[in-house]
Structure 1
Amino acid sequence: MSVSERDIRRLITFALVLLLGISAFLILKPVWKSVVGGLILAYIFFPIYKLCLRYVKYKNLAALIVSLLVLALLILPVWLFVPTLMREVFDMFQSFNEFNAGSAVAKMFPSASEAFRTQASVAFNAAISKLSSEILNFLVKFIIDFPILLLNLFLASFVFFFALRDADKLAKFAKGLLPVSRSHEKSLVKQFRDITNSVLYGQVVVGVVQGLFVGLAMYLFGVPKTLTLTLIAIVFGIMPVIGPSFVYIPVTIYLFFTKSLLASLGFLAFNLVLASLFENYWRAAIVAKRAAQSQVVVLISMLGGFLVFGFLGFIIGPLVAAYFITLVRAYKEGTLTRIFTREK
């Protein structure tokens, strides 16, 4: 069986595309998180870029202004608060090592048997030892990886600038890659845009702001280690179901035992009012008329995304899950085949 010249050209073309694809994957693999992070930030701050472009008129200058603004928002807190954060984490490490589990168990369970107290003390000490080890490993890893973090920040800023400036070209290019019919293109793009807005603005941005307000409340009520607890509140604020209550409820109990009933009730009321405002008004206004996802699905996809992609997985996980559910829903409705059939 003879092989035609046309078949040989096709084989060479396929091999070349495959080789270049593998090479591109290997090149982008070490830095893909920075690239994706820059694109996500560009999407979040694109409305600010459009507003700036309305007054500046020059795309390069508008993108530069917004890029410098975002860099300031990222670098200044690090510059101002990292020394305090490191000190707070180190103090927590020392406090864990000095913690007397036996006396704490005796105070919590005064009428318990001696055997129970011993077992509980051993369990507490094991948990504290594990937590102390994790904190120490975090500090060491942060110091070692700091130059790499700076490099990733520079790359993400580079991607952020060009993603803002060339947003129209990127959108047109992405639409051209979609293997969908023109009649379904606008509908599918709108669904994906609504999903992205719902996750990024309704879940991530609202969660970050909510965590910051919890930190403000802790600062006003004189709670120690405010910066560290604020970062924890931000992380849990992004997560549905759990929310920043994971932080402010234990802090309320702490204020009750260390300060007064009035202080603990005031702190709790402050956070409950804010939580109600964020959940019932801001988040609802963003998600309204958009692709609202099940809170359980968002939580599971966030945790799974974190285990696979790190902190970036808090965003990537829910997006992937939501896009997948959209396609499954289209398959169930019998429209998936028509969506991915190009019109001639």
Structure 2
Amino acid sequence: MREQLERRAFLILLAAVTIAFGFILEPFWSAIFWACAVSVIFFPMQQLLQRKWGHRPNLNALVTLTVCMLIVVIPVIFISTAFIQEGIQLYQKIDSGDIDPRAMLMKLRDAFPIVDELLVEFGVNPNDIRDQVISAVQGASKFLAKETLTIGQNTFGFLVSLALMMYLTFFLLRDGSHLRDLLIKALPIGDEREHALFEKFVEVTRATVKGNLVVAIVQGALGGFIFWLLDIPAPLLWGVIMAFLSLIPAVGAALVWFPAGLYLYATGAWVSATVLMAYGAIIIGLADNVLRPILVGRDTKLPDYIVLFSTIGGISLFGINGFVIGPLVAALFMAVWQIFMTDFNSGHEES
């Protein structure tokens, strides 16, 4: 009896200490999460160096981390800086009247009068729609300027989080296998189930970041390039927005380049509009269909509707981190239920 009481008391203490430690780490969750994601993605390089150079964990981890910084961290810093500058400049142009959303919508109305006729047929007032669109554009520009200014003002906090992420990544690369074995030993779920869940975590993290993020970067780069080539204002800003929208299935970069093409038609720039429409449909659109199966693999891809809901839900709960966390939680959810059906229901049916 006393042994059971001590065991329960210890389990309560274990849970309380774990929860308290989680609250202590709460300000650093983003840095910890991305350290785990980056270490998972670059761990094969760590293993390659270990096979080539022998057991030199510190040197191998340092070289891997350096490559990660050259490939990922430094380009992201440069792009983020330019994104902030273009976002603030775009808001200033809208606020000063250099860019007039109302005049742009009037040009679209004059170029495509059939749209107003269709809205009237369905009992919708076109003027109300235009007012709502203008308010949304102005609100979005203010929000974008506010967020970019906030990011610029919080540069020190960003650099601290980045340093903590890279610091933790070094130790995860160096000691990743040992830490995984400790977790498998500590968790009372069953070694086979734990191995399966860890494999699913690695699989989905690599597929989401390596696949979806690379596809998004490619689509954003292609979109920004054509905007720059056609002399459309703030090409880097729109490229980053297209990359972000590409993370959301069934939406994509077309939400940016298609309206831009319509506006070019409305302003009489037929050649530029046709080039943009063709480029968007063929080059940007097909980049997803060509690259995603290669980088992700059909076996690791979740159903499109699961990816859609989990991505949007993840972003709404966790911000930008949610585009990885959402599909990861969805994949673990499906993996856990698959284990349950295999290990528990099969035994129940046999009995």
User: What is the TM-score normalised by the length of structure 1?
Assistant: 0.81
Match of 1:14 among 11, 14, 19: 11
Structure 2 equivalent of residue 93 of structure 1: 91
Match for 1:155: what amino acid? L
After the TM superposition, which of the residue ranges 79-88 and 236-245 deviates more from structure 2?
79-88
Deviation at 1:117, TM superposition (A): 7.0
User: SS at 1:291's partner residue?
Assistant: coil
Question: Would you say 1:294 and 2:303 are equivalent positions?
Answer: yes
Structure 2 equivalent of residue 241 of structure 1: 250
Structure 2 equivalent of residue 65 of structure 1: 63
Q: Report if the CA contact (8 A) 1:204-1:315 is conserved.
A: no
Structure 1 equivalent of residue 259 of structure 2: 250
Question: Would you say 1:262 and 2:260 are equivalent positions?
Answer: no
Name structure 2 gaps, 5 residues minimum: 118-124
Alpha carbons of structure 1 residues 30 and 121: separation in structure 2 relative to 1, 3 Å:
same
Alpha carbons of structure 1 residues 273 and 121: separation in structure 2 relative to 1, 3 Å:
closer
Deviation at 1:137, TM superposition (A): 2.1
Match of 1:232 among 235, 241, 244: 241
Alpha carbons of structure 1 residues 265 and 51: separation in structure 2 relative to 1, 3 Å:
farther
Q: Deviations over 1:290-320 (max 9, x none)?
A: 2321112111111111111111111000110
Structure 1 equivalent of residue 344 of structure 2: 337
Deviation at 1:158, TM superposition (A): 1.1
After the TM superposition, which of the residue ranges 201-210 and 11-20 deviates more from structure 2?
11-20
Q: Report if the CA contact (8 A) 1:206-1:278 is conserved.
A: yes
Q: Report if the CA contact (8 A) 1:305-1:316 is conserved.
A: yes
Deviation at 1:199, TM superposition (A): 2.7
Q: Report if the CA contact (8 A) 1:252-1:265 is conserved.
A: yes
Question: Would you say 1:127 and 2:136 are equivalent positions?
Answer: yes
Q: Report if the CA contact (8 A) 1:195-1:291 is conserved.
A: yes
How far apart, in 1, do the equivalents of 2:322 and 2:258 lie? 26
User: What is the TM-score normalised by the length of structure 2?
Assistant: 0.80
Question: 1:128-277, aligned counterparts within 5 Å?
Answer: 128-181=137-190, 189-256=198-265, 260-275=269-284, 277=286
How far apart, in 2, do the equivalents of 1:164 and 1:125 lie? 49
Structure 2 equivalent of residue 77 of structure 1: 75
How far apart, in 2, do the equivalents of 1:339 and 1:161 lie? 42
Q: Deviations over 1:54-81 (max 9, x none)?
A: 4444221221122223234455335544
Q: Deviations over 1:82-108 (max 9, x none)?
A: 554333212211232215455445444
User: SS at 1:335's partner residue?
Assistant: helix
Name structure 1 gaps, 5 residues minimum: none
Count, aligned residues: 334
Give me the identity figure in percent. Answer: 24
Match for 2:19: what amino acid? I
Q: Report if the CA contact (8 A) 1:206-1:282 is conserved.
A: yes
Q: Report if the CA contact (8 A) 1:252-1:268 is conserved.
A: yes
**Aligned-pair Cα RMSD in Å:** 3.3
Match for 2:75: what amino acid? P
How far apart, in 1, do the equivalents of 2:215 and 2:100 lie? 39
Q: Report if the CA contact (8 A) 1:199-1:315 is conserved.
A: yes
Match for 1:278: what amino acid? A
User: SS at 2:249's partner residue?
Assistant: coil
Structure 1 equivalent of residue 325 of structure 2: 316
Q: Deviations over 1:90-147 (max 9, x none)?
A: 221123221545544544445779xx67645543443243223312321342233222
How far apart, in 2, do the equivalents of 1:18 and 1:102 lie? 57
After the TM superposition, which of the residue ranges 66-75 and 307-316 deviates more from structure 2?
66-75
Alpha carbons of structure 1 residues 23 and 70: separation in structure 2 relative to 1, 3 Å:
same
User: SS at 2:300's partner residue?
Assistant: coil
Q: Report if the CA contact (8 A) 1:215-1:230 is conserved.
A: yes
Deviation at 1:289, TM superposition (A): 5.2
Q: Report if the CA contact (8 A) 1:102-1:118 is conserved.
A: no
After the TM superposition, which of the residue ranges 246-255 and 289-298 deviates more from structure 2?
246-255
How far apart, in 1, do the equivalents of 2:195 and 2:84 lie? 49
Q: Report if the CA contact (8 A) 1:96-1:128 is conserved.
A: no
Structure 2 equivalent of residue 24 of structure 1: 21
Q: Report if the CA contact (8 A) 2:37-2:205 is conserved.
A: no
